[in-house]
Structure 1
Amino acid sequence: MNKKLFYRKSNKSGASVTALVIVITMLILLFSLLGSCANSPDDNEAADLKIFTTLFVLYDFSHSIAGDWASVNMLLPAGVDIHAYEPTPQDIILLNQADLFIYNGGSSEAWVDRLLESEEVNPKNTLRMMDFVELREETDSGIIEQDEDHGHVHGLMDEHIWTSPPNAIAMSTAIKDKLIEIDQTNKNIYEDNFNVLQAELNAVHEKFLAVVKAGSRDFIVVADRFPLIYFTAEYGLNYYAAYEACAAEAEPAPRTVTTLIELVIEKDVPYIFTIEFSNERLADQISKESGAEKLLFHTVHNLTQKEIDQGITYVGLMQKNADNLEKALADE
């Protein structure tokens, strides 16, 4: 009897344990199913979106808006000037695998127009940034060394549109809208990410406005190429520069060196600007003869690999530009 009672009690305990195991297993399965329905980049088809851009600035905006929901890649190798870039056959293959190809447009990217005309790239998958801002013609006003020496074609629209933060907002808006068009599922994510980026770009814009308003000078001197017409026009700045925006880098004419040295001395200019990837030889000459110090104005068209690895962004570099501009416009 005792054995039977003991046996039956054991049976009941075993049944309870078995039921508990079943319940736990069902709960695990349930949570697994719920987890599989969660909105995560690894499981969502949107994570498979492939975006290619030409310039770093376009890569940066795309990555900020898409986040982990797309693979964003830059065609332009780190540290390479866009004026010297031509796509390889492998690059063209990658473009045809992309869900979206974002390029700037302009003379430096004429190769894109050739690919589109020859139907080597699908136009439906492309986004041209110069279509979304008010364009300005390239100018030789304020340029010391005219481009007869460099064989540049006049009458073209200046392509350096992103140097104006309001233009950067317009470009980012276009990227956001295109992402939503091809991936409605993650519309809210793209809009939220864009709103964060827009707030940062607006803050940079307000900082430049404040710096220019407080400045004692209304002009800058650029001892380099001048890809800043959209920037100076946006903030009402005058300028003197050595070369036009797309001029080939070459030894400056003696007249250019002399004119800029005399200008800097006459106007008592404490700082002169260079742009990224410059050899700075002209700026060094002017600095040596005039005593003016060099400052960088980074146009953010491309970065070095080290800068990319450090996570440097358009917003961060433009904030540094604002700091340097504040120095250049101050009454020292």
Structure 2
Amino acid sequence: MKKHLIRLLAALSAAALLSGCGGTASAPAASAEPKEELQVTATVFPAYDFARAVCGDLAEVTLLLPPGAESHSYEPTPQDILTVGDSDLFLYLGGESDAWVETLLDSIDGGVQKMKMMDCVELKEEAETEGMTAEEEHEHGAGEVLEYDEHVWTSPVNAAAITTAIGERMAELDPDHAEAYQANAADYAGKILELDEKFNDFFETVTNKTMVFGDRFPLRYFADEYGLDCYAAFPGCSTQTEPSAATIAFLTQKVKEEGLGTVYYIEFSNHLVADSIAESAGAQTALFHSCHNVSKADMDAGATYLTLMEGNLETLKATMK
């Protein structure tokens, strides 16, 4: 009964929002009967992947952002409000890129169980390295959490901790299957930690742990985990796409000075900045996946956090000495 009320309130709220903007669209119809299995909704791919590994076939896990969507500029739809309102557990970052979540939650009855990935680990401030083009205006709102780097999952150690935390929360929500959730979480966290060992083993063989990104830098936690020196064109949550001439010159010189053979870029980038730096420095370019979101093709091919990070390891083996 409660979920039917949540759906009704959400639909009415969504319709009111649309009409207030001059639209006349109606909210999507709610399903006639709620499903018996638990409903888990995650805003971004890492939370979705960890949750589906934990839940197995015991709960339905939904990824709210479509594959390829940019979370920083995402605008929730009326159907998103219904989906979150009907969730037994809602997983989100709690950072700048999903600040829109608070608006969405305002449209939903307060009974939805929520879990922030950023609450599961020790946070670090967003990196602003030497030579980086900073935002012209500081856009991080008054909320203190927005001062921290939200890309906590890029450290496999953090990813394992978040997976374990999701397992504990699901065990609380569904005590009858607590052991199954905890076992699934332990299994997936264990595989992630095995990958962490592989990264550690690899970086022990590397003589120069410097990486240059001709892109945003959402990899503070990864870099700190393995003792890397990283330089980039923009901070991790930057909205800019055009670096300053000074940044281009600095990064180009850094590649030359360090004798680096590769300039990296992240997923969904046009990698024009990385191409420009690499061409000037006589280097190549390569993709390093932050795992924030995946393409539809990757999703259809069965991409997971593990497969994406394993791909990153193979890229590093091919490009770092």
Are the equivalent residues in 1 in contact too, given 2:88–2:112 (CA < 8 A)?
Answer: no
- Percent identity at matched positions? 38
**In the TM superposition, what is the alpha-carbon distance from 1:211 to its structure 2 partner?**
1.4
Are the equivalent residues in 2 in contact too, given 1:99–1:125 (CA < 8 A)?
Answer: yes
Say which SS state the counterpart of residue 68 (structure 1) adopts. Answer: coil
2:89 alignment counterpart? 100
Unaligned runs of 5+ residues in structure 2 are 1-33
Task: Report how many residues are paired.
Answer: 284
Q: How large is the RMSD of aligned CA atoms in angstroms?
A: 1.9
**In the TM superposition, what is the alpha-carbon distance from 1:249 to its structure 2 partner?**
3.8
Establish whether residue 81 from structure 1 lines up as the match of residue 65 from structure 2: no
Partner Cα separation in structure 1 for residue 170 and residue 238 of structure 2: 35
Give the structure-2-normalised TM-score. 0.83
1:326 alignment counterpart? 317
Are the equivalent residues in 2 in contact too, given 1:142–1:239 (CA < 8 A)?
Answer: no
1:141 alignment counterpart? 129
**In the TM superposition, what is the alpha-carbon distance from 1:92 to its structure 2 partner?**
0.8
Partner Cα separation in structure 2 for residue 121 and residue 92 of structure 1: 10
What do residues 280-309 of structure 1 show as CA deviations (whole Å, max 9, x unaligned)? 010111122222111111011111111001
Q: Tell me which of 193, 196, 199 is aligned to 1:205.
A: 196
Partner Cα separation in structure 2 for residue 47 and residue 63 of structure 1: 17
Partner Cα separation in structure 1 for residue 192 and residue 299 of structure 2: 19
1:181 and 1:268, CA in 2 relative to 1: closer, same or farther beyond 3 A?
same
Partner Cα separation in structure 1 for residue 304 and residue 233 of structure 2: 27
Partner Cα separation in structure 2 for residue 69 and residue 82 of structure 1: 28
Q: Tell me which of 154, 160, 184 is aligned to 1:193.
A: 184
Partner Cα separation in structure 2 for residue 252 and residue 70 of structure 1: 44
1:102 and 1:324, CA in 2 relative to 1: closer, same or farther beyond 3 A?
same
2:43 alignment counterpart? 54
**In the TM superposition, what is the alpha-carbon distance from 1:277 to its structure 2 partner?**
0.6
1:166 alignment counterpart? 157
Q: Which runs of 4+ in 1 moved over 3 A?
A: 150-155
Q: Tell me which of 189, 212, 237 is aligned to 2:228.
A: 237
Structure with greater helix share of residues: 1
Partner Cα separation in structure 2 for residue 329 and residue 215 of structure 1: 7
Give the structure-1-normalised TM-score. 0.81
Unaligned runs of 5+ residues in structure 1 are 1-44
What do residues 141-189 of structure 1 show as CA deviations (whole Å, max 9, x unaligned)? 23521222x6444970110000001110111111101111111111222
Q: Which has the larger radius of gyration?
A: 1
**In the TM superposition, what is the alpha-carbon distance from 1:122 to its structure 2 partner?**
2.7
* One-letter identity of the residue aligned with 1:87: P
1:143 and 1:177, CA in 2 relative to 1: closer, same or farther beyond 3 A?
farther
